[in-house]
Amino acid sequence: MISKSDKYSLMMDFYELALANGFISNGIDDTLAWFDLFFRPSQQIGGFCIMAGVQQMCETLRDLHFDAEDIEFFRQQGVSEAFLSYLADFEFKCDIWAVPEGTPVFAGEPIVKVKGPVLQALMIETMLLITINHQTLIATKANRIVRAAQGRSIVEFGSRRAHGADAAVYGARSAYIGGCTATSNVVAAKEFGIPLYGGMSHTWIQLFDSELDAFCAYAREYPDNCILLVDTYDTINSGIPNAIEAFKRELVPNGYRPKGIRIDSGDLAYLSKKIRKMLNEAGFPDCDIYASNSLDEFIIREMLGHGARVDGFLVGERLITSADAPVFSGVYKLAAVEKNGEIKNCIKLSENVSKITTPCPKLLWRLFDMETGKAIADLLTLENEDISEKDEYELFDPDYSWKRKNVTNFVARQLLVPVFENGKCVYISPDVSDIRTYCAEQVDTLWEEVLRFEYPHNYYVDLSENLWNEKQRLIKESRNSDKH
């Protein structure tokens, strides 16, 4: 894997360390707890997100340990000797379920579920959020850009703008899951088998005596993958004429055809139309046009709406940083604890209704219409509820419970799959290219209205009647206890 610190076991916020220490002092370190990782809605991110980061979550948790240096550091922070002894003999014991990478997921539903000793479940919170939040954010942004391109290729091209090496490499992986066709990041290509894109730079051209000399040299060096950058000086009056001349001198006589040209500045839509005409007239209708320069889904959509003749886009900074929505609002909340052999469901209330959590150990189902193959809704149920064999099911809006709908001719699929059992990883990650294919297939199960960038249709994440009743009971119970 990529070079990284072996201290990911310490990847926690200090309050988690303080709480874990306090749990041991108060004798509740082995209390069984259930936590849900879910995300809150965001207009900038859109109506759904693309799950990513499960493979890296597994790799980190498989190696969760604390060595003598870690323990000495904790001692310096004033934690108890009992906690240090616990860490010295640490053995991960949690069960974890996660939604498979590449799956479209929606706000409010658990995309990772953790069950285990509360001390351990809490200590991994920050690491889980870092991993899932970042990669899901980038996979989501990439998928939006890919959909805007309407079948044209998207190359992830943002390493130099990423927030660090890990963000560049895992961002490239996530972008590929979201639908990008290649990356410029060599490490990501090597580690994950992602197709690698390499191209000409302005520096290459500037180091030759003329633009034509630079183009001819590049064509000789890479005859079967020749993409020329044509905007160093003057795209229309110099770049394209010199590119055409280089194609005719170096490629055609040797039995090669040009792969493309790239424009990186100017009015890309306008230039692409003029370039297409010039290339066609010169006998190169098969020469693709690539565009780059701070692109995102909105600019690409606008360009294509104005008739741009672009065959592929290189997208960098606005993808690798998700520039317009750089924060993925994933959170990690307690759902239940076991006390004296009985499960006690937990809820967090808030003056902000959207921040009220959904209690209980849960299952997450997706209902698909058997006729169209489209997703109907997602459904949260109690763990002991099985809807897989039902012929008919009544869905209702959890906020407006009088809005109800009976669905038939559907198939229900559980989305959360086992990842860890008693601290041992049981998940075998698919190849990233298979995840990418799966992602495209699953996005295709969503209705066009859900796919809109602006004001997407509200895809329902419903609660079963039993879960909804338990949530209402806990809300009422909590409100009444506040009055005493």
Residue 484 has pLDDT above 70, yes or no: no
Res 5: pLDDT: 43
* Residues above pLDDT 70, as percent of the chain: 98
Q: What is the mean pLDDT of residues 323-332?
A: 94
Is residue 6 predicted with pLDDT exceeding 70? no
Give the pLDDT score at 7: 60
β 288-292/312-315 pair status: parallel
Beta carbons of 217 and 228 less than 8 angstroms apart: no
Residue 328 has pLDDT above 70, yes or no: yes
Answer yes or no: are the C-beta atoms of 362 and 113 closer than 8 Å. Answer: yes
Structure tokens, 57 = 């979550």
What mean pLDDT is reported for the chain?
94
- Kindly indicate the confidence band of residue 353, based on its pLDDT and cuts at 50, 70 and 90: confident
Supply the pTM of this predicted model.
0.95
pLDDT at 29 over 80: no
Residue range(s) in the chain whose domain bears CATH number 3.20.20.70: 199-311
In the beta sheet, which residues pair with residue 183?
156, 196
> Are the beta carbons of 132 and 105 closer than 8 angstroms?
no
* pLDDT the model gives residue 482: 59
- The CATH superfamily holding the domain 199-311 is Aldolase class I (3.20.20.70)
| Res 210: pLDDT | 98
If one compares 288 and 23, the residue with the highest pLDDT of the two is 288
Question: Model confidence at 233, in pLDDT bands (50, 70, 90)?
Answer: very high
Instruction: Give yes or no for a contact between 474 and 347, defined as CB atoms under 8 angstroms apart.
Output: yes
In residues, how long is the chain?
Answer: 484
Higher pLDDT, 302 or 26: 302
